């Protein structure tokens, strides 16, 4: 196979007038999902004031004293999906942190800030998550859908070495991600490459900016959906670089809404290219991956090192799900 075909921009899809433009919109979505795996969605019907209010709540919570946020930490030793507050180091040693909130998930018990700690946070965030999920099956409240309130602290008047990343290159293991970004807070990049393997794309160095677009939600395909589609839809490496000298250096916030399936949902594409696996088994592999990752440590890893690590662990973009599926099948 030759080098990857460059994709220079992240495409946009206008969802307005869906009932009359269903075929046209479907074709645009499919083309984007089969190509770069990222796209902007406008005309989605989610009011900007609701998005702005969710960002305000995220900033309010993420700027609470650390001793308060530390009360909302889940035990990390036995979980694939760590709900509650968490933090990770970036490659320059600074921290990025946030809150992962489950949608009507009983595991959130005791992890929400109280009204005294952060008035209105739980109410507003749950309302926003339900609006983002609409229309949703009212009986599907046992799904694993969650939203992460990311906070990348300011780098104003801070020195950092060239090549430093706020978030190293990774893929999302989930089904689909809806990413809300704030205007002026740049840095997200996508490793673009059509009809190529993730390794070839990473080695090509074809990083495409995925900056915030006014009124748009940034959408990307996750590993689980790539698996479900027999590899037709692309789960793409992406990262968050540090701001350049002429760019905004302050705090960066994003809201990552991870659309997931019920634990019992069976994943297998129509062509049966990969063995069947339930979402709970995917989560079990994620748990295995997390334990290895926590031992190794993210802050000392380059993009290439992380890629080599990820592709050899349970939830890698080159269908490590498939490689490990048989081992996770229950004994008959």
Give pLDDT tens digits along the chain (332 positions): 334 455 678 999 999 999 999 999 999 999 999 999 999 999 999 999 999 999 999 999 999 998 999 899 875 544 555 678 887 665 544 557 888 998 878 888 889 999 999 999 999 999 999 998 875 554 554 577 899 999 998 877 676 666 678 887 788 888 999 999 999 999 999 987 655 555 666 666 678 999 999 999 999 999 889 989 999 999 888 889 888 888 888 999 999 999 988 888 999 999 998 889 888 888 777 666 655 554 544 444 555 555 555 554 434 444 444 443 333 333 32
Q: Which of 128, 134, 64 is nearest to 256 (CA)?
A: 128
Which segments of 103-170 are extended strands (E)? Answer: 146-152, 165-170
Could you give the 3-state DSSP secondary structure of residue 119?
coil
Could you give the 3-state DSSP secondary structure of residue 308?
helix
Residue for token digits 């190293």?
168
pLDDT (0 to 100) of residue 258? 92
190 alpha-carbon distance from chain centroid: 12
CA distances from 240 to 209, 244, 263, 321 (A): 10, 12, 30, 25
Quickly count: other Cβ atoms within 10 Å of residue 295's Cβ: 7
Q: What is the dihedral of CA 156, 159, 162, 167, to 10 degrees?
A: -60
The answer to whether the Cα torsion of 211, 160, 300, 288 is positive or negative is negative
pTM of structure: 0.83
pLDDT (0 to 100) of residue 73? 84
What's 306's DSSP letter? H
Task: Specify the CATH superfamily of domain 12-327.
Answer: B-lactam Antibiotic, Isopenicillin N Synthase; Chain (2.60.120.330)
- 14-21: list long-range contacts, CB under 8 Å, 24+ apart: 14/42, 14/43, 15/41, 15/42, 15/43, 15/44, 15/45, 16/42, 16/43, 17/43, 18/43
Alpha helices in 47-197 (DSSP H): 48-62, 66-69, 121-133
Contact 101, 81 (CB under 8 A): no
pLDDT (0 to 100) of residue 7? 60
Q: Which of 149, 158, 162, 135 is nearest to 44 (CA)?
A: 135
pLDDT (0 to 100) of residue 199? 60
CA distances from 110 to 65, 72, 84, 113 (A): 18, 7, 9, 8
Which residue ranges make up each domain of the chain? Answer: 12-327
pLDDT (0 to 100) of residue 316? 40
Alpha carbons 238 and 168: distance in angstroms, whole number:
8
Could you give the 3-state DSSP secondary structure of residue 239?
strand
Q: Which of 301, 297, 295, 310 is nearest to 237 (CA)?
A: 310
């Amino acid at each position: 196979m030759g080098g990857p075909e460059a994709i220079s921009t992240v495409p946009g899809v206008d969802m307005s007038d869906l009932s009359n433009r269903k075929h046209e919109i479907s074709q645009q979505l499919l083309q984007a999902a089969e190509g770069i795996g990222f796209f902007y969605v406008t005309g989605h019907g989610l009011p900007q004031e609701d998005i702005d209010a969710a960002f305000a709540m995220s900033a309010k919570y993420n700027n609470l004293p650390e001793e308060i946020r530390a009360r909302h930490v889940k035990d990390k030793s036995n979980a694939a999906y760590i709900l509650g507050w968490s933090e990770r180091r970036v490659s320059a040693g600074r921290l990025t942190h946030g809150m992962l909130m489950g949608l009507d998930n009983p595991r959130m018990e005791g992890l929400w800030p109280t009204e005294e700690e952060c008035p209105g946070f739980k109410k507003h965030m749950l309302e926003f998550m339900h609006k983002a999920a609409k229309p949703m099956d009212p009986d599907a409240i046992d799904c694993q859908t969650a939203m992460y309130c990311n906070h990348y602290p300011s780098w104003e008047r801070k020195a950092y070495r060239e090549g430093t990343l706020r978030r190293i290159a990774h893929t999302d293991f989930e089904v689909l991600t809806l990413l809300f970004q704030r205007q002026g807070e740049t840095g997200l990049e996508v490793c673009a490459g059509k009809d190529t393997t993730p390794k070839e794309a990473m080695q090509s160095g074809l990083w495409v900016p995925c900056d915030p677009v006014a009124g748009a939600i940034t959408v990307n395909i996750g590993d689980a959906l790539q698996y479900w589609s027999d590899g037709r839809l692309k789960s793409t490496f992406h990262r968050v670089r540090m701001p350049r000298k002429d760019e905004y250096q302050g705090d960066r916030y994003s809201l990552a809404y991870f659309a997931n399936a019920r634990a019992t949902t069976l994943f297998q594409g129509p062509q049966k290219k990969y063995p069947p696996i339930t979402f709970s088994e995917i989560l079990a592999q994620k748990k295995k991956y997390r334990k290895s990752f926590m031992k190794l440590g993210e802050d000392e890893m380059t993009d290439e090192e992380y890629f080599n690590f990820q592709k050899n662990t349970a939830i890698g973009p080159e269908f490590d799900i498939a490689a490990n599926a048989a081992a996770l099948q229950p004994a008959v």
